[in-house]
């Protein structure tokens, strides 16, 4: 698998010098978190063809059928303020959209904060985790799962209304090694911009890709749910919303649901 990916991967600066490929693993994120504590080098990539315990946000599982998706984690050690660090999740969403557009010829939209969607269903999940070692050194584990070759029946009945694959949307067979290599290249570009603090163009792209600006949404957070209108995305990818009580605020954590998107009903 590594050779097939390297065939498409030309020059990256920081990501992909070490690529560890597994036929089967519990979760690439769990493995990468262990590596982070063992001093693995920045830019190490962990890829699996099948995850037996793929993990998603908010303690959900991530269905990872064998040979169908791209399941990978990247280990990064940025020395940045917490505020800048938090932007990496949204930036990763844009990097996925760039890679899909380059290889498949269609550009996904983004559902805040970082879900690439096509035809109103999710094609990718992103789970960012932080590991702090006993010396206080912070490692970021970027976990990305892209649905590439799945057919409808590869998704559980509960997921079918809200998940789709690139093959289902684009109607052609897509090369997973080629898309993986393009994704690593796009992540490398993104990481360079993050370290340089040169994010204006990325924020503009995010605003253009965001599928629900101007629309009614439901905010879902630890404190419960609330209706609001999505007004804008600020320079650190916070979602500016107009609440039902007329106040404007910026949301930085949680998720949203949109009428008709992801099958949620308000
Ligand atoms: C979500 O949408 O809730 C995030 C899903 C993240 C899935 C990816 S697949 C590769 C990596 N390993 C995991 O266990 N999770 C992430």
* Exposed/middle/buried for residue 253 (C-beta within 10 Å: 0-12, 13-18, 19+): exposed
Q: Which residue has the higher pLDDT, 184 or 253?
A: 184
Whether the model pTM is above 0.85 = yes
The answer to whether the CB of 125 falls within 8 A of the CB of 145 is yes
- Which has the closest alpha carbon to 94: 186, 165, 181? 186
* Exposed/middle/buried for residue 192 (C-beta within 10 Å: 0-12, 13-18, 19+): middle
Best residue among 20, 54, 122, 165 to mutate for probing ligand 1's pocket (most ligand atoms within 8 Å of CB) is 54
125 lines ligand 1 (CB under 6 A): yes
173 Cα: distance to centroid of ligand 1 (angstroms): 23
- Strand order across the 224-233 sheet: 248-251, 239-243, 224-233, 216-221, 255-258
Give the C-alpha separation, 250 to 42, whole Å.
32
What's the pLDDT score for residue 254? 77
What's the pLDDT score for residue 263? 41
> Is the pLDDT score of 206 beyond 50?
yes
Give the C-alpha separation, 16 to 189, whole Å.
12
Where helices occur in 135-216 by DSSP H, the ranges are 166-170, 176-196, 200-209
Closest C-alpha to ligand 1, atom 7: 145
The answer to whether the CB of 219 falls within 8 A of the CB of 241 is yes
Tens digits of residue pLDDT in 213-229: 999 998 887 777 888 99
Element (H, E) at 83: helix 82-85
């Amino acid at each position: 698998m590594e050779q097939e990916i390297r065939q498409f991967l030309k020059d990256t600066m920081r990501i992909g010098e070490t690529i560890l490929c597994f036929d089967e693993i519990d979760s690439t994120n769990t493995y990468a978190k262990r590596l982070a504590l063992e001093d693995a080098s920045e830019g190490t990539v962990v890829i699996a063809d099948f995850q037996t315990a793929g993990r998603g946000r908010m303690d959900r599982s991530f269905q990872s059928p064998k040979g169908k998706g791209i399941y990978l984690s990247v280990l990064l050690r940025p020395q940045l303020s917490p505020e800048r660090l938090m932007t990496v999740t949204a930036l990763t969403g844009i990097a996925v959209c760039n890679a899909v557009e380059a290889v498949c010829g269609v550009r996904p939209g983004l559902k805040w904060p970082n879900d690439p969607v096509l035809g109103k269903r999710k094609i990718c999940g992103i789970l960012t985790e932080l590991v702090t070692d006993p010396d206080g050194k912070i490692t970021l584990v970027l976990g990305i799962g892209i649905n590439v070759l799945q057919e409808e029946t590869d998704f559980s009945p509960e997921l079918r209304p809200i998940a789709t694959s690139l093959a289902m949307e684009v109607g052609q067979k897509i090369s997973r090694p080629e898309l993986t290599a393009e994704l690593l290249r796009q992540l490398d570009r993104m990481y360079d911009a993050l370290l340089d603090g040169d994010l204006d163009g990325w924020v503009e792209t995010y605003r253009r890709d965001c599928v629900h600006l101007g629309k009614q949404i439901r905010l879902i957070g630890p404190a419960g749910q609330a209706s609001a209108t999505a007004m804008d995305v600020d320079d650190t990818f916070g979602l500016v919303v107009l609440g039902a009580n007329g106040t404007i605020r910026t949301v930085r954590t949680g998720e949203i649901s949109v009428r008709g998107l992801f099958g949620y009903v308000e």
